[in-house]
Structure 1
Amino acid sequence: MLGFIRGAHAQRNDTILIENVNVIPMNKEIVLNNQNIIIVSGKIISIEPYKREINYTSHLVIDGTGKYVMPGFSEMHYHWRNKQGGIDRDFKLLIANGVTTVRNMAEYDWQDHVAIRDSISKGEKFGPNYYTAGPYLNSNDLKTIVDAIAVVKSHKVKGYDFLKLADNLPKDVYLIILEESQKHHVSVIGHAQREMPLEFSLRLKSIEHVEEFVYIFKDEQRNDALFLKQAIEQIKVSGSTIVPTLVVFDMIVKSIDNQKFKTLNQNKSAQYMLLNDFNYWSSDENPYRKNLKGKVINGQDALPLLEGYFKWMKTFIKMLADAGVPLMTGSDTFGFVVPGFSLHEEFQFLQDCGLSSFQILKATTVTPARYLNTIATEGTVSEGKNANLVLLNKNPLNDIENTKAIEGVFLKGRWLDRIKLDSLLMETKTLNK
């Protein structure tokens, strides 16, 4: 096999060799030490033990000695929030942080995410594997069955990957949305239907934000171990995927805590925010600080109430993970939740919940690939898979913090070394000059 590869591809200028690298394949919790990976035309065609005496003729040879390669990360709850710099600005931040797959969660009036997705697919725009929901839908958009049928049809015609619900709907409207979407092969995702029994929300392909379970369950239910055990079994059986988005809830809590609020703009990632955004979110105009600080909700001050919710959410996530409920990583990307960097913060919060590094890495690689129906070509490092990879200087299975130790990124077979990644980050800063 080695000889075949050397002979068949010696003259190709699109052949890349990653030499003597440690592979985290993500098909099981294992490290394959000292491997050679051959990539041709953006696909992995061989992974074999490193042999010093074998010399490959390749367009590019990357020394992987002491490094770790794994599938690229998935940001499964992304929002493009700012016109300034265009979406390319966000893509630079995401790619520089090892993100090779993105699911956009709403299209605003001034955006066309289908066009963005298609331009990436055609090679006209350089960006991650891209999937998109349609417009952000609430109850004002879906008052009647007629509205529901029209909205589903418009999603099918436009070609969105997902239809996202962000509000409680009348039961008849909700049910027709699900039925019509099934007919047209449009997946329905979004926030839970808080005013209906849990089973109705579990008809969604994925539930966004573990926070939703705070509102689905009554106060006494959240502290009832038997109830939670039964609810988690129901979630598991349903097959619905949960996207926790803890990092954004943490930002909300810190925004209304006077001491912690002062630390938000000191986060290293804050330097990559647009200047106007930075000033707005650092001020008392921050909408969470403005609308929640000192407010009483359900007879309790907002700060300890939300702190209690956050503590419960982290415990609940550990219970979901232990039960084998599929989880995916996403961060919601607004305010101080800076695209790319925020995903690594989400990893850290999931570790704080008690998840193992492998569970977290699975939630950002294998589970998204299965969810997006791309497991044939994504999600693991193995023969026949696309070369959407991250090369790390440290083993992330030892500590999830090591996902930040990025030496380089492969995106669609293109190699971006540390120098190139740093230049992408620097380019995002120039908008503030």
Structure 2
Amino acid sequence: MFKLSKSFISYCILMVINLGPLFSQSKSFAFEDVNIIPMNREVVLYNQRVIITNGKISKIEPVSVKITKNVDSVINAKGKYLIPGLAEMHYHLENNIQNEFKLLIANGVTAARNMAEYEGQDQIKIREEANTNKMLAPYYVTSGPYLKAENLQTVDDVIDVVENHKKRGYDFLKIADNLPKEIYLKLLEETTKYGIPVIGHGQRKLPLGYSLKMKSIAHIEEFMNIFSSEEKEDVKYLKEAAIKMKKSGVYVSPTLGIFEMIGRYADDDKFEILKKNDEIKYLPKKYAAYCMSDSIHYRTNSWFTAPESLIRLQNELEWQQRFTKILNNEKVPLLAGSDTYGLFLPGFSLHRELELIQESGLTPFETLKTATVNPAKYLERPLSGIIAEGKLADLVLLSKNPLEDIQNTKTIEGVMLKGKWLDRKALDLMLKEVEYTSKY
């Protein structure tokens, strides 16, 4: 007699479940007896009730007050902590979009900024489907293709590229680090006409002031190349540079985690540990096999793998963390972004990024701002980023207090996305589906 495998049965169950949305279909909710971390100030509001109606926070009150509004669903949140949804500000689509969105959401990510449209992708279509709820997705914005000097060789190239960005409707224009000065300035001129923010890599061959004309800089690593060797070790100079950056209004994404990953790939012992990471089961089988092979760039190039290179990489990561602390001290707005690639999986990677930002010397509250308050301001989403009446119901329920340790952002009990509730069981089902479909 033919016998079905347990994995196949589980998958069929998942498919039946997914014939309908995983969301709770209630229109109103009450988080009962919850501890709120509102993020508009460093405080915990204990024993509160948060009422959600039609996708927004309609009421916040002490749980001791008799509830007067009728709600469809009550969420017992006693002893738990409610934070704003997290934003992943440096996302790259590498594989199946539905699966990657599920990984983001299961990790509390309710907003994402895509940082490049790769060949064969239609990021405008993805954005439209994500933001009109045609697929399970966080709020989504996107840049156009990653533009290098070879893509922008003449003034006419610049004009054509910017006009195409306007026509397509990209939210941002992303550039590499090596544009000639004349081309770079012309690009800023043309994008200003259409109100298209320029983002991406700092201009390594130009003085700092040129990079500060961008809306955001994607890697704190860029400053290791913009600054001279002497400037990098001069704390007074670095503080002065941070003050200039604050005055310019530029945002910076440290992206410490992806830099740390270079050393983990390159070092034999760390690479063996990395390959045993349980999260790899969520990657497509062939993609994971390539990323765990010795043929990847970070395994074949002595610039990364030589003993002295491993020491250099560690020293460079430590410098980046020191400069992250200096930027934060001078109130330069930081954006949490993990530059998802390879074995640095969407969703999970953001939590490691937050850990590294905290390890740079920021408090847990300051660290959490990089994934909540700051992205909301950057994306000009005034209804997002904090917990208050009238704000969007993009929320994460945690079992532990992240203001004690940012690692507690991983203790996710449930996610409210666009006013719809996904409890832990629903999140686990999503992860199981990703795991299963990634095997084939």
TM-score range, shorter chain: over 0.9
1:394-405 correspondence runs (5 A) = 394-405=400-411
Which residue does the alignment assign to 1:128? 138
2:319 maps to which residue?
312
Specify the alignment match of 1:327 in structure 2. Answer: 334
What is aligned with 1:70? 83
Partner of 2:355 in structure 1? Answer: 348
What secondary structure is seen at the aligned counterpart in 2 of 1:407?
strand
Alignment CA distance shift 1:254-1:155 (3 Å): same
Q: Partner letter of residue 418 of structure 1?
A: R
Q: Which amino acid aligns with 1:328?
A: L
1:32 is matched with which residue? 45
Structure 1 residue 424 corresponds to structure 2 residue 430: yes
Partner of 1:100: 110
Question: 2:345 matched to 1:338?
Answer: yes
Q: Is the 8 A contact 1:24 1:69 kept in 2?
A: yes
Q: Give the deviation of 1:142 after TM superposition.
A: 0.4
CA distance in 2, matches of 1:71, 1:329: 14
Identity, in percent, stands at 48
Report how far residue 271 of structure 1 moved: 2.5
Distance in 2, matches of 1:413 and 1:247, equals 30
* CA distance 1:239–1:53, shift in 2 (3 Å): closer
Corresponding residue of 2:57 = 44
Shift of 1:13: 5.4
Is the CA contact (8 Å cut-off) linking 2:51 and 2:60 kept in structure 1?
yes
> Out of 384, 387, 403, which is 1:381 matched to?
387
Distance between the aligned counterparts of 2:108 and 2:413, measured in 1? 10
Q: Give how far 1:380 is off.
A: 0.5
Contact 1:265 1:278 (8 Å CA) reproduced: no
User: Could you say what secondary structure the match of 1:140 adopts?
Assistant: helix
Map 1:110-129 onto structure 2 (within 5 A): 110-129=120-139
State the TM-score, normalizing by the size of structure 2. Answer: 0.92
TM-score normalised by L of structure 1: 0.93
1:414 is matched with 420
Cα distance in 1 between the residues matched to 2:379 and 2:91 = 15
**C-alpha displacement of 1:226:** 1.9
**4+ residue segments displaced more than 6 Å:** none
Query: Which ranges in structure 1 are unaligned for 5 or more consecutive residues?
Result: 1-11
Letter in structure 2 aligned against 1:69: L
In angstroms, what is the RMSD of aligned CA positions?
1.5
Shift of 1:293: 5.6
| Greater CA drift, 303-312 or 22-31 | 303-312
Match of 2:272 among 259, 262, 277: 262
What is the count of residue pairs matched by the alignment?
A: 415
After the TM superposition, which residues 192-271 of structure 1 pair with which residues of structure 2 at under 5 Å, given as runs?
192-271=202-281
Secondary structure at the counterpart of residue 107 of structure 1 = coil
Q: What secondary structure does 1:364 align onto?
A: coil
Q: Is the 8 A contact 1:256 1:293 kept in 2?
A: no
Q: How does 1:82-101 map to 2 (within 5 A)?
A: 82=95, 86-101=96-111
- The amino acid across from 2:275 in the alignment is N
Structure 2 unaligned regions, length at least 5: 1-24
Q: Per-residue deviation at 1:268?
A: 3.1
Structure 1 Cα separation of the partners of residues 272 and 226 of structure 2:
32
Contact 1:329–1:364 (Cα < 8 Å) also in 2: yes
Residue aligned with 2:151, SS: coil
1:295 Cα deviation from its structure 2 partner = 6.4
Contact 2:103/2:431, CA 8 A, preserved across alignment: yes
**Pair 13,304 (structure 1): closer, same or farther in 2 beyond 3 Å:** closer
AA paired with 1:107? Answer: E
- Counterpart amino acid of 2:395? L
In the alignment, is the contact (CA less than 8 A) between 2:395 and 2:415 conserved in 1?
A: yes
Residue 47 of structure 2: SS of its match in structure 1?
A: strand
Distance in 2 (alpha carbons) for counterparts of 1:252 and 1:78: 17
Cα distance in structure 2, aligned partners of 1:271 and 1:120: 25
Counterpart Cα distance in 1 of 2:230 and 2:59: 55
**Cα distance, 1:55 vs structure 2:** 6.3
